[in-house]
Chains A and B, each alone.
Chain A
Amino acid sequence: MSDRTDKIREVARKWLADGTVEAVVGWEQGTYREKCSPVLVRKPEDADRLLFNDRCTNNLMTYLKRDPVRGMEKVGVVAKGCDIKSLIGLLQESQVEREKVMVLAVTCEGVKKDDGTVPIKCQACDVNTPTFYDEIVGEKVASNPDPEARFKDLEKLDAMTPAERNSFWREELDKCIRCYACRQACPLCICSRCIAEKNQPQWVETSPHPRGNFSWNLVRAYHLAGRCVECEACETACPVNIPLMLLNRAMARTVKGAFDYEAGKDPEVQPPLRTFNLDDDNSFIL
């Protein structure tokens, strides 16, 4: 780990010194327990703040679409394989220009949640050693041969009757306080004005009443159908621990079944809901 930290600092310092990038987005030691926080490093001498360890959970790609990073000519970003998947999404959707980012990929054995457990995405990770980057640090790490294992959790939902599922989600979504942390953390929630903030008409009721909570959480999930890269940023950010990844993974599984498509894999392939093709499968139309 410390080896990777050294290398990250070295590359960042070089990029900043020779003007390759204006700034580098990375992780630094946080102030709360062992947690790491995002940091924007602008000067070569600050590169030593950067580090990498198994508490670097944040997906830093979300900063690429925000000021001040958005306005920069060129920016470096430290990224795990899963974070890079969201970059691929942003590239597909023209939110980021490839020439404007330098990807400093880091191999990863998996991160830990606040409670010390290993997230599902890491258990079933297929990108421990990233393949899309400008520079990479760290030794090669083997991936889980069965990435589908991440859908295992959905079986408990599948086993429920619709009524049970409904009450399961009622209970869960009842907790939502509408802080929109999930949205802010999501690298692919790219709207500048979210539908939740539109009021003509107000599709999503703003008060944390079940009706509004259902609308909000379902709209969020639907808007990520075929786009969500399962980085788990939303679920990690949620202060009331709603299992948002169950929704996201259910969508991902459906998209995979229907279109044989997985988000975040290939920047050249269009997401299924983004294409109109005369030979699209129409069999579902009666």
Chain B
Amino acid sequence: MSKIGVFVCHCGENISRTVDCARVAKASGQIRGVAVAKDYKYMCSDPGQALIKNAIKEHKLDGVVVSACSPHMHEKTFRKAVTEAGLNQFLCEMANIREHCSWVHEKEEPTTRKAIELVRLMVEKVKRNMALEPIRVDVTKRALVIGGGVAGIQAALDIADGGHEVILVEKDPSVGGHMAQLSETFPTLDCSQCILTPKMVDVGSHPNIKLYTYSEVEKIEGFVGNFKVTIKKKARSVDIDKCTGCGECQLKCPSKKIPSEFDRGLKNRTAIYIPFPQAVPARPVIDREHCIYFTKGKCKACQKVCPTEAVDFEQTDEYVEEEVGGIVVATGFDLYTTDKQGPYPDYKGYGEYGYGEDPDIIDGLQFERLASASGPTGGAIQRPSDGKEPKSVVFLQCIGSRHPSKGIEFCSKICCMYTAKHTMLYKHKVHHGTAYVFYMDIRAPGKGYDEFVRRAIEEDGAVYLRGRVSRIYRSGDHLIVKGADTLSGAAVEIEADMVVLATAVMPQPGIEGLFQKLGISYDQYKFASEAHPKLRPVECATAGIFLAGACQGPKDIPESVAQASAAASKALILFSRDQMLREPVVAKVNENTCIACWYCVEICPFTAISKKDIRDRQGNLIKRVAEVNPSLCTGCGTCAATCFSNSIDLDGFTDEQIYSEINSLMAVGQDLFPEPEKAEGDSPDEKAA
């Protein structure tokens, strides 16, 4: 007979407030197979664990039920304790009488009874538990970093400096992300390019970093420690090994009227182009959609001038496979567009503000380009419509952000700061101009941040108006901005030469496709979700995948970089071991009864099941059956639920265990099918017929 120990925890008062723990222990002691049952104030404490360990030795226990909090909280603790007392860790189970009982019920008789039932279930299960050994899997000590913005760059450099290979995948032709577009950065006003480009160069030349630009992750298989990634290298139409980056091709390309993504449409580029002079790699790419050869079949001007014959019109998309152990996701953000039909169909735009219709209404990133020395105006603030210096500029904060009626509730966090920065950059260049800012609240709670905003107001004379703008319309040479100053209660009307909208920070459009491939979760806006908002902020619920930068939510550069280094250190921790232990809760197929219907093969979300031939010694096929790869199986149980021939069992959660749990309840409860009460008119003859 089994010798099970039951240990009932009071959890201070968390459990004992509504559950009579002493009675639970006493009743548990009566269950067949229970050799010892005890209660204690804090079972997870040192003396509590000692109590369990001693009981295991004294009573030679072959199973333990800790009746306490959720396994999520303390299963590891107790499994470790029983192991120290010589018991296999998988012979220890937890009955959750806190979340499932004491916290959700009043102090009443049935509450204690429910706690007893929960213990009974677990006792029946533990009786049928088997000693299992964790599965050991080798760790591939290479990392994949997806996204080459400042976060991805930092994570890649840290892991590479830690001595491990990094695969960096960037969808655009160059790394750099949004930071490369910025002019100067708050709160210190140092030049963005000057601090970023050295890092970009490092990423391009680091011996441990393999850079795939103009590439995307196509497919991901496997699990922590052993991911297999398929990367799609989009056809660049330029052989980047032959190309020297001389730029001759750009000069000759006749297709010149394509709005530059890097300059956010304020300047045009050619069809063959290097996105910006400091690009890494500084190699061009042909935009096939606008290339005259690709659209009309004739041109090849670039090929003719290329001194190294690097232009290759025949190039096709290429797929490469890489094996990695950990993944850092750093896909960053994009800006909500305010014209009517933006890339975020779920959210309403701000048609009323005229973005996309009037050239002098621009967004924050466009202003960054105007202010940037590498920008379309060489850093001179000129309004897009006619190149005149704007004498007054109105900045509007919270465009999209904190606007539930437009579909977005969150605060984009960086706009208060960059708008203050914009007013300063403007003032430093247009000394007689006036900057007006419409804001809701000023949120500047970073190191040196509030001082920065005060400087904009006090030293650089930005006029801050608390209120919203109702309408912007053109009147001759000016834009009329109508709004309210809620502090003075007055309606205001400002004649502006240019309007800058601080639009909401949103995830990259369509990024959920990547998140689904990775099997990580995301919130309603499609920002990636962390495993725990406080205690595991850079990890995903999926083991081995870490988050860095603005793909998780609005972040500024210091935060993005800090998180990137944190993600890198998580990856390095993973790589510090040669092998990893995995829970042995995996599916097993009964080959005798499997009928090869392949339902399991089709439905396994982790493609852990394959088809196996069973042959006799002569090699003749006898039958085919399903086979589970234990290192891919996550123990989700989908197959076991789907297999109607009941040929799949989950180690640790076998049918037999579950059945006995249910059965133990039935034994105490009523018979679900008692003989029917005889209803009137229900004559015995009728029944016999």
- Residue positions of A touching B, CB distance < 8 A: 93-95, 167, 170, 174, 190-195, 198, 200-203, 209-211, 214, 223, 270, 273-276, 278
Are A195 and B602 closer than 8 Å at their CB atoms?
no
* Residue in B closest to A94 when the chains form the complex, CB atoms: B598
- CA A191 to CA B590, docked complex, whole Å: 13
Is B656 touching A200 in the complex (CB atoms < 8 A)? yes
Pick from A93, A200, A201, A278: contact of B597, CB below 8 A: A93
List 14 interface pairs A-B (beta carbons < 8 Å), by A numbering.
A95-B595, A167-B676, A190-B597, A193-B592, A193-B645, A209-B673, A210-B673, A210-B675, A211-B672, A211-B673, A214-B673, A223-B644, A273-B642, A274-B602
- Verify B598–A93 contact, CB threshold 8 A: yes
In the bound complex, residues from chain B placing their C-beta under 8 Å from that of A211 are 671-673
Top-4 shortest CB links A-B: A201-B659, A191-B645, A223-B644, A210-B673
Contact A95 B597 (CB under 8 A): yes
B359 at the interface (CB under 8 A from A): no
> Among the listed A167, A193, A210, A270, which residue makes an inter-chain contact with B593, where contact means beta carbons less than 8 Å apart?
A193
Cα distance, A38 to B545, chains bound together (Å): 59
**Chain B, 656-686, CB within 8 A of any chain A CB:** 656, 659-660, 663, 671-673, 675-676
Q: How far is the CB of B424 from the nearest CB of chain A, in Å?
A: 46
Mask, B628-652, CB within 8 Å of A = 1, is 0000000000100010111000000
Residues of B564-608 contacting chain A, CB below 8 A: 592-593, 595-599, 602-605
Q: B642 near A192 (CB under 8 angstroms)?
A: no
Q: Quick check: is B205 within 8 A (CB to CB) of the other chain? A: no
How far, in angstroms, from A191 to B602 measured CA to CA in the complex? 18
Residues in B with CB closer than 8 Å to A278 are 516
Check A198 against B646 for contact (C-beta < 8 Å). yes
Q: A201-B655, A210-B673, A274-B599 are in contact. Are A192 and B660 (CB under 8 A)?
A: no
| A93 in contact with B599 (CB, 8 Å) | yes
Question: Contact between B673 and A192 (Cβ–Cβ < 8 Å)?
Answer: no
CB pair A276 B598 closer than 8 Å: no
- Cα of A200 to Cα of B659 in the assembled complex, Å: 9
CA distance A223 to B595 in the complex (A): 14
Best-buried of B516, B602, B604 by chain A (most CB within 10 Å): B602
* Cβ-defined contact, B592 with A276, below 8 A: no
Q: Chain A residues with Cβ under 8 A from B598's Cβ?
A: 93-94
Asked if A94 meets B602 with Cβ closer than 8 Å, knowing A198-B646, A200-B656, A203-B655, the reply is no
Taking A192-B595, A200-B656 as given, write out 19 further A-B residue pairs in contact, using a Cβ cutoff of 8 Å, ordered by the A residue number. Answer: A93-B597, A93-B599, A95-B596, A167-B676, A190-B595, A190-B597, A190-B645, A191-B593, A191-B644, A191-B645, A191-B646, A193-B592, A201-B656, A210-B675, A273-B599, A273-B642, A274-B642, A275-B602, A278-B516
- Residues from chain B with a CB closer than 8 A to the CB of A200 are 655-656
CB distance from B392 to the nearest CB of A (A): 50
**CA–CA, A167 to B605, complex, Å?**
40
Please determine whether B645 and A192 come into contact, CB atoms closer than 8 angstroms: yes
Least CB distance from B93 to A in Å reads: 18
Q: Is the interface of B mostly helix, strand, loop or mixed?
A: loop
Task: For the complex, count residues of B whose C-beta is within 8 A of A.
Answer: 28
Do A195 and B599 touch (CB < 8 A)? no
| B595 in contact with A195 (CB, 8 Å) | no
Determine if B676 and A195 form an interchain contact, defined as CB atoms under 8 angstroms apart.
Answer: no
Given A94-B598, A203-B655, A276-B605, A195 and B660 contact (CB-CB distance below 8 Å): no
Residue in A closest to B600 when the chains form the complex, CB atoms: A274
Residues of A within 8 A of B672 (CB): 211
Interface digits, B361-372 against A, CB 8 Å rule (1 contact, 0 not)?
000000000000
Chain B hits for A210, CB < 8 A = 673, 675
What residues of chain B lie closer than 8 Å to A93, measured between beta carbons? 597-599
> How long is the Cα–Cα vector from A98 to B675 in the complex, in angstroms?
49
Q: Among A94, A167, A202, point to the contact of B596 (Cβ < 8 A).
A: A94
Q: Closest CB-CB distance, A210 to chain B, in whole Å?
A: 4
**Distance to closest chain B CB from A241 (angstroms):** 11
Q: Nearest chain B CB to A278's CB is how many angstroms away?
A: 5
B659 neighbours in A (Cβ, 8 Å): 201-203
Q: Evaluate contact between A192 and B593: CB separation under 8 angstroms.
A: yes
A2 to chain B minimum Cβ distance, whole angstroms, is 40
* In the complex, chain B residues whose CB is within 8 Å of the CB of A209: 673
Q: Which residues does chain B contribute within 8 Å of A167, judged by CB atoms? A: 676
B43 to chain A minimum Cβ distance, whole angstroms, is 31
Asked if B655 and A276 make an inter-chain contact with CB atoms under 8 angstroms apart, the answer reads no
Residues from chain A with a CB closer than 8 A to the CB of B642 are 273-274
User: Given A94-B596, A190-B595, A201-B656, does the pair A195, B646 have CB atoms closer than 8 Å?
Assistant: yes
Q: Give the shortest distance, in Å, between B601 (CB) and chain A (any CB).
A: 9
| Contact A276–B602 (Cβ < 8 Å) | yes
A193: chain B residues at CB < 8 Å are 592-593, 645
A residues less than 8 Å from B676 (CB atoms) = 167, 170
Q: Which residue of A lies closest to B643 (CB)?
A: A191
Give Cα distance in the complex from A191 to B648, angstroms.
13
For residue B658, which residue of chain A has the nearest CB? Answer: A201
> How far is the CB of B670 from the nearest CB of chain A, in Å?
12
Q: Identify which of B516, B597, B604, B605 contacts A94 (C-beta below 8 A).
A: B597
Q: CB distance A275 to B603 under 8 Å?
A: yes
Q: Once the chains are docked, how many angstroms separate the CA of A210 from the CA of B516?
A: 46
Contacts of A276 in B (CB 8 A): 602-605, 638
CB-CB under 8 A from A198, the residues of chain B are 646
In Å, the complex CA distance between A23 and B109 comes to: 70
User: In the complex, A202 Cα to B656 Cα: how many Å?
Assistant: 9
Assembly CA distance A80 to B319 (angstroms): 49
Beta-carbon nearest neighbor of B686 in chain A: A171
Which of chain B's residues have a CB closer than 8 A to the CB of A270?
602
* Least distance between B522 CB and chain A CB atoms (Å): 12
- A192–B595 Cα distance when bound, in Å, is 7
What distance in Å separates the Cβ of A196 from its nearest Cβ neighbour in chain B? 10
Q: What is the minimal beta-carbon distance from A227 to any residue of chain B, in angstroms?
A: 9
Give the residues in chain A near B687, CB-CB below 8 Å.
174
Nearest CB in chain A to that of B592: its residue:
A193
Partner among B597, B604, B645, B675 whose Cβ is within 8 Å of the Cβ of A195:
B645
CB distance from B607 to the nearest CB of A (A): 9
Give the nearest-CB partner of A205 in chain B: B673
Q: Which chain A positions have C-beta within 8 A of B602?
A: 270, 274-276
CB-defined contacts of B644 to chain A, threshold 8 Å: 191, 195, 223
Q: How far is A201 from B663 in the complex, measured between Cα atoms in Å?
A: 10
For window 51-73 of B, CB contacts with A under 8 Å fall at: none
- A167 to B597 alpha-carbon distance, docked (Å): 36
Closest to B604 in A: A276
How far, in Å, is B302 (CB) from chain A's closest CB?
41
Q: State the CA gap A201–B654 with chains docked (Å).
A: 10
Please give the distance in Å from A247's CB to the nearest CB on chain B. Answer: 16
With both chains docked as a complex, state the minimum distance between the C-beta of A67 and any C-beta of chain B, in angstroms.
Answer: 13
Smallest CB–CB gap between A38 and chain B, Å?
A: 22
Contacts of A275 in B (CB 8 A): 602-603
Residue of chain B at shortest CB distance from A223: B644
With CB as the reference atom, state the residue of chain B lying closest to A220.
B644
Q: How far is the CA of A210 from the CA of B596 in the complex (A)?
A: 33
| B124, chain A: closest CB distance, angstroms | 11
A278 to B659, CA, bound (A): 31
Residue of A nearest to B624 (CB): A94
Chain A residues within 8 Å of B592, by CB:
193
Question: Which of A170, A195, A223 neighbours the largest number of chain B CB atoms within 10 Å of its CB?
Answer: A195
User: Chain B residues near A274 (CB, 8 Å)?
Assistant: 599, 602-603, 642
CA A15 to CA B144, docked complex, whole Å:
60
A170 to B672, CA, bound (A): 12
B652 to chain A, nearest CB (A): 16
Q: Which residues of A contact B656 (CB under 8 A)?
A: 200-201
Q: Whole-angstrom distance between the alpha carbons of A278 and B607 in the complex?
A: 13
Which A residues are in CB contact (< 8 Å) with B596?
A: 94-95
- Closest B residue to A214 by beta carbon equals B673
* Residues on the A chain within 8 Å of B595, using CB: 95, 190-192
